[in-house]
Amino acid sequence: MKKRHIVSPLLLLAIALGWNIVLRAKTPVATAHDLKQYTAPESSDSRHPIDVFQLGPEAGETENDVLTHVPTTIYLEDKVRFVVDPKWGLGTIVHVERALPITVKDGRKTLLLRTWANTVEEVLVDANRPLADLDKANYKRTDLVVPNMTIVVTRVAKSQLTVKETIPFETVEKQDPNLDRGVVKVLEAGSNGERTKVYEITREDGVERSRKLLRNDVTQPPKNKVVLKGTRVKIGKTATGKATWYDLCCKKVASNVFKKGTVIRITNLANGKQIEVTVDDTGAFGPEIIVDLHPSYFQQLGATLGQGIISRVKVEEILNP
């Protein structure tokens, strides 16, 4: 059986690089210091580490074959360099410089990216997710990205909303002595007005967050409704005489001149004070006494209870109470 010679990977690298090699007994072919840039390279950017893999000839003679033997996942965005061309059949050293793993959350979408961008803004541009003027992110646009960073984007939009509101008209009542009491007449019909409000709506990721009133204009003023209410009283029977007072439970107005249920207007002819009451009792006995009143009614006519009698009152039957 033939004896198999084992050659150091460092020597293979030196041969592959075309170095002039002079072999001397007990003299190293190449030192680790000389070949450090190939076996343990330092990245110019610590955010992009370089993984080094040394593989023997059995890994294959094409780059694709070799990559299938690399014991790690290599992503499309990673930069791969073969220090020794595997087609020489000497084995090879593979450098894999890693792209930055970044997560971007944009609304309801989450993107897992591997990038060579330097800043947050560059990452979003490369991902076709640039920030518009009002948009926000959890980092500044100029912040440097680092491995495993999660960038959260909030899409901000402003719009205007116009709202029409009705201004209801009011009803103004005016008393009219030329109309009988109880008669209501519309002098002027009313009409509603209109108010226009313009809001600035701010939405974040499609959800309304604020509403600011920009304008509040009365575009059409309302027109009041004017109603005439009659105050003219229709008078029936009339009597003039005296009024007294009495205090009887549950009864307030007694008269022998006007029957129970009649609405009457009583005027104290001495002072002009008037009340309107309903007869609910019979009585009022005595010369010229036409009505007997509850003490409260008696006092409303401007008399005192000690006075006992109002010597001259006019009592009128109201036909349109």
**Average pLDDT score over the chain:** 90
User: 249-307, pLDDT tens digit by residue?
Assistant: 889 999 999 999 999 999 999 999 999 999 999 987 788 999 999 999 999 999 999 99
CATH tag for 234-318 (out of 2.40.40.10, 3.10.350.10, 3.30.479.10, 1.10.10.10): 2.40.40.10
pTM: 0.61
- Is 50 exceeded by the pLDDT of residue 146? yes
- Checking DSSP bridges between strand 289-293 and strand 235-245, what pairing results, if any? parallel
Superfamily for domain range 159-230 = Resuscitation-promoting factor rpfb. (2.20.230.10)
Write the CA distances from 214 to 45, 52, 197, 201, 211, integer angstroms: 51, 63, 8, 10, 9
What pLDDT score was predicted for residue 248? 86
Contacts of 289 (CB under 8 A, 6+ apart): 241, 242, 243, 244, 309
What contacts 320, CB < 8 A, 6 or more positions away?
180, 181, 182, 233, 234
Residue 242 has pLDDT above 60, yes or no: yes
C-alpha distances (whole Å) from 28 to each of 9, 19, 22 are 13, 14, 10
Residue in 138, 111, 107, 143 with CA at minimum distance from that of residue 126? 111
Q: Residue ranges of the domains in the chain?
A: 50-97, 101-154, 159-230, 234-318
* pLDDT digits 0-9 by tens, 48-62: 999 999 999 999 999
